[in-house]
Every structure is written in structure tokens, then in C-alpha cells.
Amino acid sequence: MVRTVGVEEELLLVDAQSGEPQALSKAVLAVAERRSEGESAFEPELHHQQLEFATEPRSDMRELADEIRLRRAEAAESAARTGAAVVALATAPLPVSPSVGEGERYRWLADRFGRTAQEQLTCGCHVHVSVASDEEGVGVLDRVRIWLPVLLALSSNSPFWQGRDTAYRSYRSRVWGRWPSAGPVEVFGSAERYHEEVQALIDTGVLRDRGMVYFDARLSHRYPTVEIRVADVCLDPADTVLLATLARGLVETAAREWRAGDPPDPAGVGVLRMAAWQAARSGLEGQLLQPRTMRPVPAAEVVAALLAHVRDALEDCRDLASAEQALMDVLERGTGARTQRELLARTGSLRDAVAECVPRTLGRRRPG
């Protein structure tokens, strides 16, 4: 049976004219709820300047692509009724003073983590892939961990922070890494060991609950899925579909390895942090660490290695041809980080660059 995939995307709310982040999530969510005439697909996030949506679980990537585009369009239409726009950028390029959202949980986060929570105006993309059991899920987590920095590089879409170029392709991941539970993890070996480690983290009193276990990939505490959380939100919706396709390929490949008794790669957390840093720094425009050797090689070689690793799984899901084409496309045009920098170079204005990204969020460009 083909595994199902669901996607959660976080989007920025910005002024339609200036591109500056706007604290309008409450108003936008109210519009979205009225327009849905039922349960809305949208939810608030930590800050008033963003909102989130989740797709239904899908086994067909074409259906997933259609829903992602539909939800982004619905978000744009709801935002427009408040005078705002939505844009799929993983950090806000323009200066902003984020305002923490309402609700007891968000207030607790702000009080507990201070500036770390205050500055977490970042937008990620989380991919849920179905698994048969916690044991299979942990077998997957143990085997996908070395490949997650490649997904980060492919999604990199946050070169700017508070009006400045950070020199990173994914600065979001550097900001996100300030949370105490964020980042790569060790090999667990069993579901029992995984749950013991999660409980030990909660028992420290530093974390509020399981929802704060921000591993790069984890067992979802709500669904029977592995949740891959390492990626920036992608500017182009086609890149989100590619990310989901590769995530399912990785999960299926890892599950097959687990069932066959193939041991996971023993790479340590320290080396995985180096791989994640390199991916955040250079994206697809320099070198990445080759997951099997953890030595620097050109990014295109690492992307080719990822494709070779998941080829059989993609072929069995009939995703191989579309994944190959999508990978060629993103290697040629670059990720959202490259697009943002090119737009700034062409327009000379971060405001104009953000404005140009608004239609690209919906999969189209401005005329001319």
C-alpha cells in the first residue's frame, strides 16, 4: 500500500503594498472561517504575523499539489479581505517586531523562553508520512537522519533577517535551533527507547509537553506518522511537492531497510549538526556534506545521491519521473533563497522583492 503524505505550511502575513509583516492573523483566520462555512484548514501560529494550514493525507502527489495550491490561494483571498497578502518566505526580509499570539500556551512560551520565543517569526514546512507502528516509525527515524540536511538545502528560503542579508540560505534553521529540543538526534534503536528519551526531556521541566519536542524528524504526537520538520517553507509550491515526494521516498526506503535488518548509519549528532549548518549556509549553491561520508562535495552530487537512494521507492509510487524533473528544475533556477537575492539585485529594494514573492507563492509571476 502506498503511504499517505500530509503537509503543514506556515505563511507570513504582510502589507500588500509595503511588504512589511502585519499582525493580522486573528482577522485573517476569522475571514477564512466565514468563507469555509465549516471547519477551516487554517490555524494560528506563535506570532500574529503568520498563519498555518494543513492538507489532508494524500497518496497521490498530484492531489497533494492541487490542495497545496488551493490552500495557498484561499489564504491569499482571506488575507486580501483584510488588506494583507500572504507570502511563503521562511523569515521576514524586512524589519519586524513580532507579536506573540493569544492563548495560554503562547503566553507560557513567551514567558518561559523570553527572546528566543519573541524572535521565532519563522515559517517552516512539516511533512507527515504514514507509518504502520511506532516501531516502524523509529526504525525510519534512525535511518533518515543523515539525509535530512539535504532536504533543508533543497527548501532553503530565508536569506534575510531584520532587513539584512545573513549570508545563509536558510537562516530560519539557525533561529529555530535556539529551541532546546531542536535539531538532529541520536539513533534510538526501538520505540521504547524513543519514548523514554522524549519523557526524559519532558521530565526536566524545560519543555511543556510532547508538542515541544522539536526534533528534525519525530513521531507525530497526533497522527500515526513520521513528521519531518527540517525544511523551510518553500516559495514555489512545486518545491513543496518535491519535498513531500522525497520525504515519502526516504520513509519508504528506510522502512524497507528496517524490515531487512539493515543497520542505520552511526553518524553522531555532532557531525549531523555540521551537515545541517553546511546546508543552511550554502543551500544548493556550494558544497554539502555527503551523507555517507560526511565529507564536502558539490551540492548537485549530494542531490544525485539522495535521488539514487530513494529511486526504487519513488519508482514504486510512480513518482520517479516527476521527482527527477522537479530536481532538475530546482537545481537550474535555485531555491527560494536564490530567488529572493536575485529579486533584490534586480529591484534594489527588499520591499519590492517581497512584493514579487507574493504571486510566486501562488505559483505565478508578475506580468513582464
Per-residue confidence (pLDDT) for residue 368, from 0 to 100: 42
Residue 366 burial (CB < 10 Å; 0-12/13-18/19+)? exposed
Give the model's pLDDT for residue 35: 85
Distance CA 41, CA 293 (A): 42
Spans of all domains in the chain = 5-347
What is residue 366's predicted lDDT score, i.e. its pLDDT?
A: 54
Q: Would you state the pLDDT for residue 365?
A: 65
Please provide the CATH number assigned to the domain covering 5-347. Answer: 3.30.590.20
What global pTM score does this model have? Answer: 0.96
Q: How far is CA 342 from the centre of its chain?
A: 22
* pLDDT mean for each 10 residues of the chain (368 residues): 96 93 93 81 92 96 97 96 96 95 90 94 98 98 98 98 97 97 97 98 95 96 96 98 98 98 97 98 97 98 98 98 98 98 97 96 71
Q: What's residue 367's pLDDT?
A: 45
